[in-house]
Each structure stands twice: as structure tokens, then as C-alpha cells.
Structure 1
Amino acid sequence: MSKRMNSGASQQFVIIGSGQAGGWAARTLREGGFEGRIVIVGEESHPPYERPPLSKAVLTAQKPAESCYLWSKEKLGELNIDAVQGNRATAIHRDRREVELADGSRVPYDRLLIATGARPRRLNCPGADLPGVHYLRTIEDSERIRGSLSKGGRLLVVGGGWIGLEVAASAVSMGVPVTLVEATDRLCGRSLPESLGRFFMDLHLRHGVDIQLNANLTRLEGNGRVERAVFGNGEAIEIATAVVGIGVVPNTELAADCGLPLENGIVVNESACTADPCIFAAGDVASQPSSWLNGRVRFESWKNAQDHGVLAASAMLGGDALTRDIPWFWSDQYDVNFQLLGVPSVGNQVYQKGDTSSGRFTQYFVQANRLTAVAAVNSPRDLRDAKRSMQNKSQFDTTGLVPVLTL
């Protein structure tokens, strides 16, 4: 697609998924000059929205659910985007270029974007389906968890990743006692080095969270509702609510059923295009090439969902592949703002500025005298300065920094 398609008034572009990636793709298509019909198909009853507030401000009722919306219904109308809400795509018919919906209707497309995201990985133990056991992905999930917590009693958080830690912090702010259990020997083991995992563990311990590592949760029990958690060592704790955050599974079923290649997600090229030149994929569901990792990766982050949706829309219009920004992740817990830029890798030498105990410090991950990643705790200025060095691929000066470990 070398010729840019700026008008295409007679064409129809369809987006499956009304989250961050799908919403930003739709807006980019319209603002990029596409004059044809844009249809967003979403299972939920809401217009496109972002998910980070669900574990924080929405969960604690500091902000209403509508604050998550990418734009108002009025703005959606101004953009002339047709939102098919509360209807699920059940099949993609590539030979006819049609998307089949759960109600039996079919939506034709000239270009199709799959932005179906991911779903929470389910807990596999007896009692996991008891009322009071929750997962967090949607606005309704957040509201149900809040309602459950308001009844009092201890919260069990299963999983020491970002969702689990953010839910724990929010619950503590609501006056709820929290026990967090993690099956491995550290927190955030998939995304952070051990030193930063220890920092977050100490942070939550200081706020009264009971953390159990290497925990073998064998079953949940209760009479009509979850009441206790039982572990492999025979110990049990009384609980009133459980929130499970043990990872996600990409929603690749539509792509698999229509024959698109998969590799821990839907395989796309640098322009977010699949093996079918008329079908694109973006966000949590897409397995994309990454210059930062020298391989293929599926990013699960707010920033990637937005940027990848914009990139996919540009490619759908026939534009050249956009330059991707450095991977970026953030999390707010208690009085801590944590930001991670880039991807720490094995072999990185880690240098630190500031004292971990002060609650304000920065860790720099260096390989061959160049920054590969930076982690900043309450230090946004350090992050901005480091980003310039990473973008320029310049030699990184470690003068004044303390070497702390090698990954």
C-alpha cells in the first residue's frame, strides 16, 4: 500500500474492539482524512474507553466510570463514527470481507482492524467460581469489586503483578485489610528486576498489606460465597472478597479461526498488518516486531495500545510505517508514581541515582555504554532526560551514579 488513501468516501473500515487501541485507531482514521464509514464493534455497552483508572480512581469511586471514556458521545457523533455496542464479533469471513456478529448480522469491510485486547487468565482451583471472586478488566468488573469491598472483610489478592498491586493499594486506601499471595518468590517478576520487586514489596508492607510469596493456593471455600482461602501447607485465612490478577490471555480466536498466523498474539509487521493485506491488528492482541528487543513481542500497556492503534490507522490509510516510541509503562500506588521506559534485559549493568528508602530514586539500565531502560520512582524529570539519551542512542555518562547490580 504505497498510495495514501485520504478520502475513500465509498469505503468502509471496521474495527473489532472498543478499547484504547480501537478507539484511537478510529479517531486517527477520521482525523487522517478518511471520508468513508467507520464502524467500531464492541462487546461492552460503553463507547471506547481506557482501562488504567479501573484499578485506581474508578475502583475507589474518586472518579465516575464515564471519566474513562476516550471521548464523549457527542464527540463520537462529531467524528461520525458508528459504534455497534453490546454486540460481539463471532467470525471473520476473509473471502467475502465480512465480519459476522453474534446477532447474526454481517458487516462488510474494505479494511479491518482487530483490536480485541486480552482477557484475564482464570484461576484454576476448587472454589474459583464462587461469588465474591473477581477479575478486573471492564468498568463493570471495577464497580462489582468496589461493591464487594464496601461490605467489609478481608480482601485476598491473588497475583503479585501490576493489577494485583494497584488493587491492593486502592483497597488499603478504602480501609480494607488486604492479603496478597504470589506463587513465585518475588513481585512483578515478569517485568522488573528483583531489586525493584523488593521496593514494591517493602512499600506495600509499610502500608499494612500481608504479603505471602511462594504461596500455594489450593482452594477457595465458602457457603454460597467465598469465605476462606486454603493453602498447600494447610493454613487458611478468612476472606470476604478475592481479586485474581494472574496475567491475561490475548483474544486471538477470531484471527485463528480465519487462518491468520499467531505467535503469542496475532502476527503483524512493522505497519501492524497481518498476513492478509486487508486485515490489521493492534494493541494487547498483536505480536509485533520490536527494535528494542530485537525480536517479536506482545506489549500489554496503555501506551502501546494507543500508539499501536494510531500506527495501524495510518497504515490502513496507506501511509508509511510510523516511528515507534520507546516502550513506556506507569503505575500509581499510594504516594508513589513509578515509570518504566524501555525494557530491562539480561546483562544490563544497573546504576542508581538517589536512595531507595527516600521514596525518590532512579535506576538506569546500561548495555555497551548506552541506556536500554530507565525506572523512575517519583522522579519524572530524570525520566525525561534519560529519554533524550535513549532516542539519540548517545553514550551514557554514569558519573555520579552508584552501580548496584548486573542483571
Structure 2
Amino acid sequence: MDNHVVIIGAGEAGARLAHELHTGGWTGSITLLGEEDRPVYERPPLSKNVLVDDRPSPVEPYRDGRLEWPGLTVRTGVTAQSINRTDRTVRLADGEEIPYDRLVIATGARSRRLPDLAVGVRTLRTWDEALRLRSVLDAGGSLLVIGAGLIGLEVAASARSRGLAVSVVEMRPRALERAVPEPAAEVVVQRHLAEGVSLHLGTTVESLEEREGGWLARLSDGTEVVADAVVAAVGSVPETALAKAAGLHVDDGIVVDGQMRTSDEHVWAIGDCCAGPVDVLGRRARLESWRMAHDQAVTAAAAIRGEDVRHTAIPWFWSDQYDLSLQVAGAAAAASTWVQRPQPDGSTVHLGLDDAGRIVCAAGAGGPRVAKDVRMSERLMTSGKVIDPALLADADIPLKTLLRS
């Protein structure tokens, strides 16, 4: 059996893959390559806990020997420069070549940067960037956030909770438009407004001028916003340069099949850098979330071990803002009708159904009960059951009973 696996990228996806291979009985050798010169850490806390905790520390899930065993080599602070698919080697920036039998690309994504804006605009993707942004928040004052997606609003909530005056500018007509159904997104928006955040929707930053001690932003609607610091949270770009240069199929991410295999049978791709089939959407998509990276790693590990497996995991993500927990499972874009399921605390879980009446999305912002119903809705999605919408809307009927019916 071809038994040397090289993994490019030591984030959640790459590290999880190494762990899954080991715990699944892989007897070959594994080399895990990471660009950042630090232990593997999780990114979701960067826009939340790291910005607000008194003494922030990275969440390092593979401490305590979980990535220490014979046959695994973890190398941090190294950069993969090229892939030779003919010779099956990875060339590092220092010229060293590492042979592989099977290669996994888990290079993630980088923050999208706005053209024509000043170089002093902050972004948030890495631990070091989070610490630099934290030092900005330590100074107090005011913050302008460009982008009202998940990261932008999490940064806004963190900054506001620390007492900064916060303005958010979003080019789309509403916040969280990409992946969150409007009623659930509106709950989050109203909470930001109640906290004093100034939201500018449906407008863009036309110019940004750095002045002594601050910034002046002129918006397309004529508004001027003055801030001490600026953060751009306008999405990400998949890190596909290595794959593209190696001749792999790339289309808004490294294209993979249901086993996370690329157009080369010896190469897989997982995490934020890849685009693969999403059953609930009925098409290929690139999905960025901690859980998706984890689930794709599990699938790829099984495929590398030779198991007959296909990736069928339901997309799921969460966002903590103030005391709200936003939970979304499935894909809002796949829904044609919506059912509202009220919760005892006054919140609502919104259930999206496709044309056949199957649940394809569940979303809500609130407390523990919302999270519970979203998790149970995910199980209903997996089952493919068609359930009477009236039963779904009846809060007195536990969703788990519908799963058994």
C-alpha cells in the first residue's frame, strides 16, 4: 500500500485529517506541514474570546500528545512552494523536496482585501492578526468594520462589548445575506442596533483617508464616518495557487469529488480551499466553517485508508454575538418555503423546506433551546423525511418524536 501521506496545511482540516488517520488505524507515515510557526489552533475564537478575554490564549485542540506518535512528523514555520505531480514531491521554500504517495492540500483561505483602500486597514485570519486587532481595541475609541458577514459582526460585537463606538458598512441590502435566512439575521441586526452599533447597509466605502490619529471614510450614500481604526471583513479567497500551478482543477476552490479527491487520484483537498458536492444544495460549493473542515477531514481520511465512503455531512455553523447564539444547519439557498417554530424564550427557529417538503435548512438566534432544535432539525435533514409543516410549527411537539414517526 502507498503509505506516506503529506498534508499541506496545519489548520483544523489538516490536523484533524492526521488525527483521523492515526486513530483509524493508518500504519503508514504522515508529514504535516504548517506555515505558521506555532502549534495548531482553532480560528473561531479569534473574533470573539481573543478580542475580549482578559488573558487570551489560543485554543489548541491537539495539545497533550494528540499529534505525537511514531510515524507522524509535524513541521511548522515551513512553506510549500510547489507540487510535482509526476515525481510526487512537494518542494519547500528552502529547496527541500518531500516525496509523497498521497497528498492532501489543506491550505485554507486568506482574507479578501479591498482594492484601493489604505494599507493600514486591519484584517482577521490568524492568531497574530487577532493580537494586533486586540491591541487596537485596548486603545478604545471608535472602530469602522467593513462587511456585515459573520466575522464582521462578531468583531463589531466584541468591540462594542469593550466599550468602543462601532460603525459597520455593508454593500449588500442586508446583513448576513450570504448564508443566514433574513428573519434569523434580523434578530442579530436588532441586537446590534440595541447595543448602539451604527449600521450602514446597501452602501460602500468610496474613499478612505488616513488622518493623524484616525480615519475618514466617505460612503457611496454621502455619509462620512470617522473612526480610530478600520477592519475589513469582506470574505475570503481560497488558497489555490499551489493546486492551480500543479494543474489541478480549480473553480472557486480546488474541485473535489465525494471522497474529497481532486482531479489527480493521488491528491485530496479539504477545508476552506476546496469546493465539493453538497447534497443539501444539490451542487458543488465551497463552504467555510469549523465543522465542515472537520467533517471533510473525516471523509478524506476514510478514503485514503481505502474505505468506500462519500461525503454527505450537513453544513453547520454558529456565531456568538453578545448573549445570542446564531445557529444555522443546512443551506438557506435550497429552501423554497419557510416554517416558523416558536421557542419558549420568545425566539424562533426558521425551518426551510424544499419543493418536496423536506427540511433543508434550520436557523435561529437565541439560547440553548434554539441550538437544540437546530441540532434535531439536522437529523431530520439527514433522514430525508417529509413532515407536515403544521407539525414542525407546533412547539409542543418535540422534533425528536417526528424523527421516530
Taking structure 1 as the reference length, what is the TM-score of the superposition? 0.90
Correspondence 1:186 to 2:174:
yes
Note the alpha carbon deviations across 1:343-399, whole angstroms, 9 max, x for none.
Answer: 12365211112279x652211112222211111322122223323322221122322
Counterpart position of 2:39 = 47
Residues 314, 63 of structure 1: alpha-carbon distance in 2 compared, 3 angstrom cutoff: farther
Tell me the residue number matched to 2:290.
302
Distance verdict in 2 for CA 1:347–1:268, change over 3 Å? closer
* Residue in structure 2 matched with residue 119 of structure 1 by the alignment: 110
2:80 is the alignment partner of 1:89: yes
Alignment partner, residue 343 of structure 1: 331
Q: Is the 8 A contact 1:125 1:218 kept in 2?
A: no
- From the superposition, tell whether residues 233 and 363 of structure 1 become closer, same or farther in structure 2 (CA, over 3 Å): closer
Q: Secondary structure at the match of 1:75?
A: coil
Q: How does 1:238-387 map to 2 (within 5 A)?
A: 238-345=226-333, 348-354=336-342, 360-367=347-354, 368-377=356-365, 378=367, 379-387=370-378
1:395 and 1:75 mapped to 2: Cα distance? 42
SS in 2 for 1:321: coil
Which residue of structure 1 lines up, in the alignment, with residue 148 of structure 2?
A: 160
Could you tell me how far apart the structure 2 residues matched to 1:234 and 1:363 are? 36
2:110 aligned partner, one-letter code? R
Task: Report the counterpart of residue 27 of structure 1 in structure 2.
Answer: 19
- The reply to whether residue 15 of structure 1 matches residue 35 of structure 2 is no
- Select between 388-397 and 198-207 the one with higher mean Cα deviation: 388-397
Secondary structure in structure 2 of the residue aligned to 1:345: helix
Displacement of 1:121 in angstroms is 0.6
Q: Which sits farther off after the overlay, 154-163 or 336-345?
A: 336-345
What code does the residue aligned with 2:351 have? Y
Computed over aligned residues only, the root mean square deviation of the Cα atoms, in angstroms, reads 2.1
Measured in 1, the distance between the counterparts of 2:212 and 2:97 equals 41
Tell me, yes or no, if the aligned pair for 1:336 and 1:359 is still in contact at 8 Å: no
Query: TM-score, with normalisation over the residues of structure 2?
Result: 0.91
Q: In the alignment, residue 237 of structure 1 is paired with which amino acid?
A: V
2:111 touches 2:237 (CA, 8 Å); kept in 1? yes
Which residue type is aligned with residue 27 of structure 1?
A: H
1:236 is matched with: 224
Identity %: 39
Q: Which residue does 2:398 correspond to in 1? A: none
Query: Secondary structure, in 3 states, of the residue corresponding to 2:297?
Result: helix
Q: Are the counterparts in 2 of residues 220 and 226 from structure 1 also a CA contact under 8 Å? A: no
CA gap of 1:34–1:213, structure 2 versus 1, over 3 A, is: same
The superposition leaves residues 285-336 of structure 1 with CA deviations (integer Å, 9 ceiling, x where unpaired) of 1111122111111111111001101211221121221452211111111111
**Shift of the alpha carbon at 1:117?**
0.7
Q: Tell which deviates more after alignment, 250-259 or 339-348.
A: 339-348
1:127-186 Cα offsets, whole Å, 9 max, x none, are 2x02xx211111111111000111121011100100001111111111111101101210
8 Å contact kept, 2:259–2:311: no
Q: How many residues align?
A: 390
Match of 2:95, SS state, is: coil
SS of equivalent to 2:306: coil
Structure 1, gaps ≥5 residues long = none
| Residues 23, 70 of structure 1: 8 Å contact kept | no
Distance 1:225 1:103 in 2: 40
Amino acid at match of 2:328: L
